[in-house]
Amino acid sequence: MPNKNKTHKVGRDSKNGHFIPVSEAKRRPSTTTVERVPNSGFGDTK
C-alpha cells in the first residue's frame, strides 16, 4: 500500500488572500506564499 500524503501545496496571494496556482506563486515570491493544506479527511475537526 503506497504512503499517502496528508497535505498538498497551494499558492496564496499575500495581498488579498486568494488561492492561486503554485507555479504563479513561485514566479512572484515577494507578494505570494506557498502553503501546505491538509487533504480531505486529514484536517483538524475540532
Amino acid, res. 27: R
Quote the CA–CA distance of 24 and 45 in Å, as a whole number.
30
Quote the CA–CA distance of 20 and 3 in Å, as a whole number.
27
Contact 18, 12 (CB under 8 A): yes
Q: What is the pLDDT of residue 32?
A: 96
Q: What is the pLDDT of residue 2?
A: 67
What pTM was computed for the model?
0.72
Contact 34, 25 (CB under 8 A): yes
Tell me: the pLDDT tens digits for 1-46?
A: 566 789 999 999 999 999 999 999 999 999 999 999 998 888 886 6
Nearest to 36 by CA among 9, 3, 1, 5: 9
